[in-house]
Amino acid sequence: MDFISILATILLFTTVATLAIALAAYAAFKMRERRKPGAKKAGGANAPAQALEPIFLERYVPDAEDFEPAGSDATTR
């Protein structure tokens, strides 16, 4: 085999493997979506929608100083 044929074969197998992994990931995503609990199972009918809190992340609440533009002072104007 010459060099171009080897590169073409590698490219073909890489493309096919990428498509196979993409299909497997999509199937896993669909299976996960199917087993997600609904709103009734998670909190009940009487639970407010805000009762669900993030598990792994904390909400970022900016301070008042975060709203000021960078480098702006009242004395420089």
How confident is the model over 1-48, as pLDDT tens digits? 799 999 999 999 999 999 999 999 999 999 988 887 765 554 555 555
User: What pLDDT does residue 33 have?
Assistant: 87
3-state secondary structure string across the chain:
CCHHHHHHHHHHHHHHHHHHHHHHHHHHHHHHHHCCCCHHHHHCCCCCHHHCCCCCCCCCCCCHHHHCCCCCCCCCC
Domain limits, the chain:
1-36
pLDDT confidence tier of residue 67, bands split at 50, 70 and 90: confident
